[in-house]
Structure 1
């Protein structure tokens, strides 16, 4: 497609509906579009430190366009907005804060304990819980057998995010984060729906490598809302946090 338009393959098909896109690779694509927007401007020494996605509607498995603009320029702090459109209709809006890149090695610290290496772990067939081409494309390696509402796992894929284009480690990392809502299901997705309506990622360090570590807890409230909370890791240790707001509802009886 052209530099702003992308066509998904079947490997992006969703877990709730195979005719929809799974949000995870679309989130990575939006970060890729932000990277391209930043590359067209002089290097400002800023790093993406928070990105928040609002999912506005159905993500049809069809050509999409991603538009990016700077809405708050600055030398030490900048705010970008990205909009993904399908059939001319906005389906995702994202806002990304970029902060100054300074050397704070002397005071760096805190955060969770690094996870065990995925190379020592056995793969888990996530397709036993979820359908869809995206889930089928994943290599999922839990640190322990997944439990309802609580799982820690490494996620990776051998597939490139955008055919024929180099993609940053950040975009590849983000392209797997939305999987968190599926690794620790509290109820079977054959009986309950719990899709997320957003995803917010805060980073204290730029992730590197092909593995995304998800230390995930899922909570359902009593009135139809839920939250998926995740500590994010790469192979060197924790890199940040992710939150997803869920709409929880029983599936209609057949």
Structure 2
């Protein structure tokens, strides 16, 4: 197993080494996609962009409440660079965006993914809390494995290489459809030499919801997502996220995956993904 998803590096060319706000990273084999060995799974780049959003002019009085990640093309395994900026400043509401670019063979960079996060000011609303029932049992009371358990029941051959081989999981009974819910967390750091934060951990693995919520077989279909939107209802606690997902297939070659999200203390929000369906 790899020791991390991304290794921080210096800009590869002198002309890139200007103070332009970019951070540079070398992806490891732990980021590899389940769909092709030449590109990254959507999870680690989503975690890296969440890290970028969190570090961009942080405000102790605001928290991220909605984050949308757009995958604009294959995210290659060459040098990645990332930069964030505040797009809409404000004391109560702000919008932060971050771009992830991939270095091409000729030394230029191609925009491969983008995340946009809304931050809202926090306040005490504990007296009006209404949320779905907590997902149980929690990982501390379950046997966990590397990869995803019950893969035959999920209809997915997840394997143990690349990204799926770097996550820890435990399966429980689902509530949103007829597929299991899965507790999952990264088993390795996001960036070498750093501790992963709770939000970084959760956003690194939420992308797999479309795989967890499907009843299709990988030898017959593919169901690649082009985006992931997460709406949070409170600040997540801990590295584990419980993903209770269900994918709906439409009649014109596309569908959507919706998932309830939990941490080990309760419900934290929902995610949605657009899915492109292709017959093998």
Q: Report the TM-score, using the length of structure 2 for normalisation.
A: 0.82
> Given the alignment of the two structures, is residue 56 of structure 1 paired with residue 72 of structure 2, yes or no?
yes
1:169 Cα deviation from its structure 2 partner: 1.1
1:44 Cα deviation from its structure 2 partner: 5.0
In structure 2, which of residues 17, 22, 31 is the aligned counterpart of residue 12 of structure 1? 31
Q: Specify the alignment match of 1:115 in structure 2.
A: 135
Distance in 2 (alpha carbons) for counterparts of 1:51 and 1:184:
20
Q: Specify the alignment match of 1:200 in structure 2.
A: 229
> Given the alignment of the two structures, is residue 94 of structure 1 paired with residue 94 of structure 2, yes or no?
no
1:240 Cα deviation from its structure 2 partner: 0.6
Greater shift in the superposed pair: 1-10 or 208-217: 1-10
Distance in 2 (alpha carbons) for counterparts of 1:233 and 1:48:
16
SS across alignment from 2:169? strand
Say if 1:149 and 1:218, in contact at 8 Å, map to a contact too. Answer: no
1:165 Cα deviation from its structure 2 partner: 2.3
Q: Specify the alignment match of 1:80 in structure 2.
A: 96
Q: Specify the alignment match of 2:46 in structure 1.
A: 27
The RMSD of aligned alpha carbons is: 2.1
Unmatched runs of 5 consecutive residues or more in structure 2: 1-8, 11-21, 104-108, 152-156
Say if 2:30 and 2:162, in contact at 8 Å, map to a contact too. Answer: yes
Q: Specify the alignment match of 1:210 in structure 2.
A: 239
Say if 1:216 and 1:230, in contact at 8 Å, map to a contact too. Answer: yes
Greater shift in the superposed pair: 136-145 or 9-18: 136-145
What is the count of residue pairs matched by the alignment?
A: 247
1:21 Cα deviation from its structure 2 partner: 0.5
Question: In the superposition, relative to structure 1, how do residues 121 and 176 fare at CA in structure 2: closer, same or farther (>3 Å)?
Answer: same
